Amino acid sequence: MPSSNVLAKTFEPSAFELRQIQRWDDAGAFQPRGPRGAPRFSIVIAPPNVTGKIHIGHALENALVDVLVRWKRMKGFRTVWVPGTDHAGIATQMVVERALAKDGIDRRTIGREEFLRRVWAWKEDSKQAIITQLKRLGCSLDWSRERFTLDEGLSRAVRKVFVDLYRENLIYRGTYVVNWCPRCETAVSDLEVNHVETAGKLYFIKYDVEGDQVGAIVATTRPETMLGDTALAIAREDARTRRLSGRTAVLPLIGRRLPIIEDDFVDKEFGSGIVKITPAHDPNDYEVARRHGLPAVTVIGNDGKMTSEAGPFSGMDRFEARARLLERLAAENRIVDVQEHQHAVGHCQRCDTVIEPYLSSQWFVRVEPIAGPAVAAVEKARVRFVPQMWEKTYFEWMRNIHDWCISRQLWWGHRIPAFYCDDGHVTVAERDPDVCATCGSGGLRQDPDVLDTWFSSQLWPFSVFGWPDRTEDLEDFYPTDVLVSGFDILFFWDARMIMAGLKFTGAPPFSILHLHGLVRDEKGEKMSKTRGNVIDPLDVIEEFGADAVRFTLVSLASPGRDIPLARGRLAGSKAFFTKLWNAARFVVSHSEGSDPGDPASRGDLSLLDRAILSRIHRTIELVDRQLEEFRFDLAAAAIYELLWKDFCDRHLEMVKPILTGRAGTDRQRAVTRAVLREALGKILALLHPFAPFVTEEIWQTVAEGADLLAVSRFPRFDPGRIDNPAVDAVDHAAEILTRVRNFRTERSAGPTEPVELRIDPATPARGCLEELAPILASLGRLASVGFEVAHRDDFRDIVAGVPLAMKFAGKESSADKVRVHRELSRLDEDIRALGARLSDPQYLEKAPARVVEKSRQRLVEMEKRRAALGGDSA
Ligand SMILES: [Zn+2]
Ligand SMILES: [Zn+2]
C-alpha cells in the first residue's frame, strides 16, 4: 500500500465525485463491452423533458435504473443504457413563451421561424443542464448514444410511422369536437385534461315553440353555448314531449329557428326530456347533428372569445358572455329555475384553463386495432408488469380506448407530413412532395400543425437504435429488457410504446415494465412550489453527496408505494457512508506490509474469517435475488446490515486483538488481514451499484492498479463459503462478551475490572468457543477464560444456550450472592404462579392452545434458569 495513495481523513463526497465522473468518462466505462451475441442487458432512459432541469422524481427513477444497469454490467452482461431528452412539445413551448413574455415578446410577433430558433437555443441549455445532473447523480449512461426526440433520425422514424398508419387508414383527418385549450390555443388529448369536481349551476331556460302555448324547457350548465344551438331533441315515444315532434322552436335572444327532432340519444329519465343540440360545442351533439344533417354554428372562438355568430355577445370572453346572457334571459323571464349542480369540469393539464369542447379539423389515430395485440402481449406475459397490480388498470383502459387526437396547434414539434393543394387534396409522404398526388398541381402547403409529443415518445425504444434502418444496434439491443417509469405516465407513454413496438417491430419494446411511486415529502404530501416542500436533487447532492441521495431514494422504494423523503434519512445515509469510509481507512491502516493473496487457498481461516465470508456470500445471494425481483429496497437493506452490523460492529471489533498482536500468531494475523481486504473488496463491489462514487474512490485507493470498479466483476455467490457453525459461534461469542460487560455495569464495576469466566465444559459449542477464547479474553478484559464447572460463589447464567459462570477475579462478592438470592426467590415465585395456572382445568379449557403451549415453554425456561443459578430443581 503506497503511502501516497491514502484515503482522506474525513469522508467528503464533493472531494472525489467529480473526479470519478471524469474517470468513468475517460475510460468509456459505460459503453457496451464484450462480443456481439454475448448475453446483453439493454434499457433506454425515460427521456426527461427539455423544459428545464430534472426533479427528485427523475433522481429516483434514474437511481433505480442505474442500480440495475451497474449490477448487470458487473455481472458481465453486454450492457447499454441509452440517454436522451424529449422535446416535450406543449410543455417546452409554454415555458419558452413564458420566458419571452417576461421580455414583453409574443411568439406571434416574432413569427414561427424566429420562435423555433429560440426554442432550440433553450433546448440546448436545458439539455446540457440535464446531462450534467444525470452525471452528478452517477448515472452510467452510454453518452456516445445520446438521442433527442426531434433529432434527424428520430424525425425520420416519426414520419415513416405517420405515413404507414395513414396508408393503412389508421390515421385519418376529420372534423370533430375536441378538447380545446383557449389559452394554449391548441387541441389536447383526453389524457391531457384534468377533470376537477366543481360546484356549478344548472340553468333551466324556456324556449318558445311555434304553435305551442307551453314551449320547451331546456337545462344547461353552459348557457353561453345555446347561442350555437341548431336544434332541440326529444326522445322517441315520450308521452310528455310527443306534442312537440316536428314543430319548430325559437332560439331566445337570437331568433334562430330550431327544428325539434327525435333521437335515441335523449334520455327519457333525465330532466324535461328535451335537450338542446349545440353541434360545435359538444361531442355528443355533434354526432346527433351528423345523423340529422344539422349545421354546426361555432359561437366560441379558439381564443375563448365569442365569435361574430354570437350576436350581441360577440367579442366577449366566454365567461363574461355567460353572465350577460343570463341577465338578458332573466329580463325576459326565461330562466325557469337554477339548481346547484356538482359536476366535473375539464382543465388544461399545462395551464389549468377551463377546456372548451371545440369543433375543429384534427388528425386522429384509430387506436382500437393497434390496442388488441398490446392487450394480448400483457395477457400472455410477453410484457410483465412489476408490481403486477397495474395490469388491471392497463387492461381496463386499453379495452375502452378512444381514438387519439394527435394534431396540436403548436409550433414546437414534429410537423405533420401532410400537404394540401389549392383544391384541398391531401398528400401524405415520407419526403416533402413537389406536386399534389391527386391532381399533380404544384404550390403545396404543409399542414401548419405539429404532432402530440407522445407520438414520437412512443417510438423511443426502437427509434433510438436507428429504426427504421436495420442497424447493428437495433439487432443487438432491441427489444430492451426493462422499462422503468412512473405509473403516472402508464397511458401517456408506456401503453403507447407497447402498441407501437408491436405494430412496427413485431415485438414488445421491453419484457418488463417496472412502475415506481412518486417522491413525496416526509409527511407524504405531494411536493409543490406552492407548498414550499420541494427537494431539489442538486441541493441535496451538494449537502449529503450523490451516494447518500441515491441510497436513500432506492432504500425507500417499496413496490406500489409512494416514497416519503425526509432529510433525516439523507443524513442517515451520509452517516452510513462515513462508516464505510472509516472502516476502509481501518482496513488500509492494518494492511500495510501484508502480502495480498487468496486466503482461501491457505486453508487456515479462523472462525472470524469464515463467519464474515459466510455473511458476505449470504448477502451476495440475497442481493442477486432481490434485484431480480426489483426489490431495490430489500437489497439495499441487506447490504446496509452487512456493512454496518456484521462487518463494522462485529467483525472489525473482534479481529482487533489479532491485528494488534494481543491474540493469535503472526500467521493468523496475516490471514486476518488478507480476509479483511477480500471482505472490503466484496462489500465495495456489492455496494457499487447503489453508491458508485464512494465505492469507486475507496476501490481505487485500496486496489492500486486494478480495473475501475464500475467494470469489475460483481461478487459471485459461492455456496462453499456458507458456514453457519462459524456464524453461530461468532454470534455466541459476541453475546457472551455483552454478558460479561453487563455483569460489570450491573455491579457498578469499571470496564477494566478483571473477571474470571468459566464456560460449562460440557457445552456442545466448546470447540468453537475454545478457538475464540483468546479474543474473548482480550476484548472482555478477562482475567481468565476456562472450560470448567462453576465455582461455588460464581454468578451463573445461560447465554445463547451456553451455561456460564463469572466472578470478579480474587474477590468474594457478597453483593453477588444477594443478587442471586433475590433473583432466585423471584423465579420461585413466578414458577409457582405459572405452575398453578397451568394446572387449573378452567384455564386450560378456555385459553387458546397456542397460549398454553407458550406458557409451558416459559415454565421450562424458568426452571432451567433456576437450576443454572444454583436453585433447587422443582
Ligand atoms: Zn392550456
Ligand atoms: Zn390537388
Global confidence as pTM: 0.86
Per-residue pLDDT reduced to its tens digit, 433-443: 999 999 999 99
Distance 280 CA to ligand 2 centre (A): 28
Helices 89-102 & 107-136 angle (0-180, nearest 10):
110
State the ligand closest to the CA atom of 421. Answer: 2
pLDDT tens profile 247-269:
999 999 999 999 999 998 888 77
Determine the distance separating the centroid of ligand 1 and the alpha carbon of 352, expressed in angstroms: 6
Ligand nearest the Cα atom of residue 422 = 2
Give 823's pLDDT tier (boundaries 50, 70, 90): confident
Distance 445 CA to ligand 2 centre (A): 11
For residue 90, the ligand closest to its alpha carbon is 1
Q: What is the pLDDT of residue 603?
A: 67
Checking if the pLDDT of 71 tops 50, the result is yes
- Of the segments 396-400, 506-510, 586-590, which one has the largest average pLDDT value? 506-510
Q: Which ligand is nearest to the CA of 445?
A: 2
Rounded distance from Cα 183 to ligand 1 centre (Å): 5
Q: How far is the CA of 342 from the centre of ligand 1 (A)?
A: 23
Percent of the chain predicted with pLDDT > 70: 96
C-alpha torsion angle, residues 523, 529, 535, 537 (rounded to 10): 150
d(CA 423, ligand 2 centre) in Å:
5
Q: How far is the CA of 178 from the centre of ligand 2 (A)?
A: 28
Helices 632-641 and 607-628 pack at an angle, to 10 degrees, of 170
Ligand index nearest the alpha carbon of residue 182 = 1
409 CA → ligand 2 middle, Å: 24
Q: Tell me how far the alpha carbon of residue 162 lies from the centroid of ligand 2, in angstroms.
A: 20
Span from the CA of 418 to the centroid of ligand 2 (angstroms) = 12
Q: Is the pLDDT of residue 810 over 80?
A: no
Over residues 74-86, mean pLDDT = 97
Residue 425, CA distances (Å) to 159, 170, 361, 376, 405 in order: 19, 19, 15, 38, 21
- Find the 317 Cα to ligand 1 centroid distance in Å: 16
pLDDT of residue 662: 87
- For residue 595, the model assigns a pLDDT of 57
Q: What is the mean pLDDT of the chain?
A: 91
- In Å, what is the CA distance from 579 to each residue of 54, 61, 568, 586, 647? 30, 26, 17, 11, 11
Q: Rounded to the nearest whole angstrom, what is the distance from the C-alpha of residue 521 to the centroid of ligand 1?
A: 28
The grid coordinates of residue 95 equal: 415555458
Dist. CA 444 → ligand 2 center (Å): 8
Span 857-872, mean pLDDT? 79
pLDDT band at 560 (very low <50, low <70, confident <90, very high): confident
- Under DSSP, is residue 336 helix (H, G, I), strand (E, B) or coil? strand
Does the pLDDT value for residue 733 go beyond 90? yes
Distance 51 CA to ligand 1 centre (A): 16
For residue 434, how far is its CA from the centre of ligand 2 (angstroms)? 11
Q: Distance from the CA of 182 to the center of ligand 1, in angstroms?
A: 7
Q: What is the pLDDT of residues 324-370, one digit of tens each?
A: 999 999 999 999 999 999 999 999 988 899 999 999 999 999 999 99
Burial class (CB in 10 A: 0-12, 13-18, 19+), 105: middle
Q: What is the mean pLDDT of residues 34-50?
A: 94
Q: What's the whole-number mean pLDDT along residues 301-330?
A: 94
Alpha carbons 305 and 316: distance in angstroms, whole number:
5
What's the pLDDT tens digit per position in 795-804?
999 998 899 9
Grid cell 472502516 — which residue?
A: 583
> Cα(54) to centroid of ligand 1, in Å?
22
Q: Could you give the CA distance from residue 61 to residue 81 in angstroms, rounded to a whole number?
A: 13
| Residue length of the chain | 874
Q: How far is the CA of 189 from the centre of ligand 1 (A)?
A: 12
Give me the pLDDT at residue 525, please: 87
Of the ligands numbered here, which is closest to the C-alpha atom of 192? 1
The span from the CA of 357 to the CA of 365, in Å, is 19
Cα 96 to averaged position of ligand 1 atoms, centre (Å): 14
425 CA distance to ligand 2 centroid (A)? 4
Nearest ligand to the CA atom of 354: 1
Ligand nearest the Cα of residue 420 is 2
Q: 420 CA distance to ligand 2 centroid (A)?
A: 7
Q: Separation of 159 CA from ligand 2 center, angstroms?
A: 21
What separation in Å is there between the alpha carbon of 150 and the centre of ligand 2?
A: 30
Q: What is the pLDDT of residue 871?
A: 67
Helices (H), 75-103: 89-102
Q: Which element (helix H / strand E) includes 33?
A: none
Question: How remote is the CA of residue 184 from the centroid of ligand 1, in Å?
Answer: 4
Which is nearest to 400 in space by CA: 376, 437, 375? 375
Q: Rounded to the nearest whole angstrom, what is the distance from the C-alpha of residue 437 to the centroid of ligand 2?
A: 7
131-165 burial, b at 16+ Cβ within 10 Å, e below that, comes to bebbbbbbbbbbbebbbbbbeebbbbbbbbbbbeb
Give residue 165 CA to ligand 2 midpoint distance, Å.
21
